[in-house]
């Protein structure tokens, strides 16, 4: 299963080794040019790329138009949450991350990206206790992932 995490860490504050650690789990691996190419693809990455390039409403509209075919995919709801997070709308972001978790639960799967992103929302709201609980739970569910452990630090 692939995981795509939303990172609030600044790429410029990371050294090369840290970028490599996170590249497989986040959008850090994509340059602006690559994100621009994703904007032209007819899949859910188009909506995510639009949001990451600051075109939030356009990205959300693209994702909304995929609801009928993607509604049972936890990654879809996580992408919508990421767009709202990038728009600093933390309440909506957390709502969609929760929908992502509920969708995964219905399919009897774990989706640690959404739970990690809830932790990021808690951090953004200065709720350290909530963030630590979320990151700890993610690390317990998926100890092979670097981002939740890094976020705990």
Q: What SS3 string covers 10-41? A: CHHHCCHHHHHHHHCCEHHHCCHHHHHHHCCC
Instruction: Determine the pLDDT at residue 100.
Output: 96
**pLDDT at position 44:** 61
Region 85-111: mean pLDDT is 95
* Mean pLDDT of the chain, nearest integer: 78
At 18, the pLDDT band (50, 70, 90 cuts) reads very low
**Spatial CA neighbour of 49 closest among 65, 70, 27:** 27
| 3-state SS, residue 66 | coil
- Whether residue 6 is predicted with pLDDT greater than 90 in this model: the reply is no
Instruction: Give this prediction's pTM.
Output: 0.75
Q: Which helix (H) or strand (E) holds 129?
A: helix 128-141
Q: Do residues 77 and 99 make contact, with C-beta atoms less than 8 angstroms apart?
A: yes
What percent of the chain lies above the pLDDT cut of 70? Answer: 71
Residue 24 clears pLDDT 70, i.e. is over it = no
Tell me: pLDDT of 74 over 80.
Answer: yes
Q: What integer pLDDT is reported at residue 149 of this predicted model?
A: 83
């Amino acid at each position: 299963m692939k995981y795509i995490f939303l990172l609030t860490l600044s790429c410029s504050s990371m050294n090369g080794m840290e970028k490599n650690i996170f590249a497989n789990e986040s959008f850090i691996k994509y340059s602006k040019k690559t994100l621009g190419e994703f904007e032209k693809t007819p899949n859910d990455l188009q909506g995510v790329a639009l949001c990451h390039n600051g075109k939030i409403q356009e990205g959300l509209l693209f994702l909304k138009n995929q609801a009928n075919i993607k509604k049972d995919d936890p990654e879809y709801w996580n992408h919508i949450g990421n767009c709202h997070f990038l728009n600093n709308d933390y309440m909506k972001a957390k709502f969609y991350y929760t929908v992502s978790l509920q969708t995964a639960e219905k399919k009897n799967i774990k989706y640690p990206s959404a739970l990690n992103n809830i932790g990021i929302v808690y951090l953004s709201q200065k709720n350290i206790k909530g963030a630590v609980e979320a990151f700890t739970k993610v690390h317990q569910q998926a100890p092979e992932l670097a981002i939740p452990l890094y976020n705990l630090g």
